Amino acid sequence: MAVRLAQYIVGAVAGFAIGASSADGGDAMGVTALGGGIVALLMLLLNGVVSLALLVVAIIVAVQARGRGRIGALIVVGAIVLAVVLYWIVQVIYMIAVGASTDPTSVGVWALVVLVLEIGRGLLIAVALIVGAMMARRWVKQSSAGALSA
């Protein structure tokens, strides 16, 4: 979540910087857009690496855990996969809707619809990750306490 938040902040800062540099004209706007794009790609790559690492750890916990710990790890795995699938669905809907739009107003409306869907998707995934991680963590805490007392 922190990586996604940083990605959105970088995007917002780059957008403001592009807007500010476009007022001056010249090559500043292109350089700013290129720099913002490169940073956004790096943040996207970091998000993918962190998500992949989380997926691997959740699968390892799901294999080793029992009971609620396994269910929690499976919730985390499902949330990561669901996040990707829902992102694809929202983007396909957006591409089809914008491609069929004939006026700028409808493009703006679809952009707002996609924004609301992305916020809902983010909240859903965040809740699922938190619940699953807490269930798995509780199992780890109980199993390690049992191992220490034995």
Residues 6-46: pLDDT tens digits?
Answer: 666 666 666 656 665 555 655 666 666 666 677 777 877 88
Q: 124 falls in which pLDDT band (50, 70, 90)? A: very high
First to last CA, the chain: 37
Structure tokens of 50? 């962190």
pTM of the model: 0.71
Q: 137 falls in which pLDDT band (50, 70, 90)? A: confident
Question: Which pLDDT does position 129 carry in this prediction?
Answer: 92
Torsion of CA 71, 74, 80, 84, to 10 degrees: -120
The more confidently predicted of residues 10 and 125 is 125
